[in-house]
Amino acid sequence: MLRLPSILKTKSLVGILSAVLLTLSLYGTLVWADNLEQLRTSGAIGESYSGYVVARNSSAQAEANAINTKRRAIYQEKAATQGVSVDQVGKVYAMEIFKKIPAGTWFQKENGQWVQK
pLDDT tens, position by position, 101-110: 999 999 999 9
pLDDT value, residue 2: 44
pTM of the model: 0.72
> 43-75 burial, b if ≥16 CB within 10 A, otherwise e?
ebbbbbbbbbbbbbeeebeebbeebbeebeebb
User: Which residue positions in the chain have pLDDT lower than 50?
Assistant: 1-2, 4-5, 7-8, 28-31
**Contact (CB, 8 A) for 109 and 49:** yes
Taking alpha carbons only, the member of 100, 8, 90 closest to residue 54 is 90
